[in-house]
């Protein structure tokens, strides 16, 4: 009986760790100062950091910080 509880706990823990979303608050540095662009998660986070943020035809490097 005790082994069923342990096994159930391990399954729940494994599911919880594999279903976590990685999110971060992001910003870019414009000539007028820091501009917050909000929170991005998972693939969107990877994409915005890789491609940057475009404003009026200018691509700015994006910096994201985990929270």
What the block records as the tokens of 61 is 């490097």
64 occurs within a structural domain = yes
- Rounded average pLDDT over 19-28: 87
58 occurs within a structural domain = yes
* Whether the predicted model's global pTM rises above the 0.75 cut: no
- For residue 1, what pLDDT is reported? 59
Q: Are 24 and 39 in contact (CB under 8 A)?
A: yes
Which tens digits make up the pLDDT trace of 3-18? Answer: 655 555 545 555 545 5
37 occurs within a structural domain = yes
Nearby residues of 52 by Cβ (< 8 Å), 6 or more positions away: 28, 59, 60, 61, 62
Q: What is the mean pLDDT of the chain?
A: 82
8 occurs within a structural domain = no
4 occurs within a structural domain = no
12 occurs within a structural domain = no
Distance (Å) of CA 29 to CA 8, 18, 37, 52, 66:
48, 33, 11, 11, 18
31 occurs within a structural domain = yes
Range of the domain at 39: 22-67
Among the residue ranges 4-8, 42-46, 47-51, the one predicted with the least confidence is 4-8
CA dist., res. 62 & res. 51, Å (int): 8
17 occurs within a structural domain = no
Say yes or no to pLDDT of 30 above 80: yes
- In the chain, the number of structural domains is 1
């Amino acid at each position: 009986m005790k082994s069923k509880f342990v096994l159930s706990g391990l399954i729940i823990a494994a599911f919880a760790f594999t279903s976590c979303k990685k999110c971060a608050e992001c910003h870019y540095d414009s000539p007028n100062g820091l501009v917050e662009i909000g929170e991005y998660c998972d693939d969107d986070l990877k994409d915005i950091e890789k491609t940057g943020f475009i404003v009026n035809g200018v691509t700015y490097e994006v910096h994201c910080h985990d929270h």
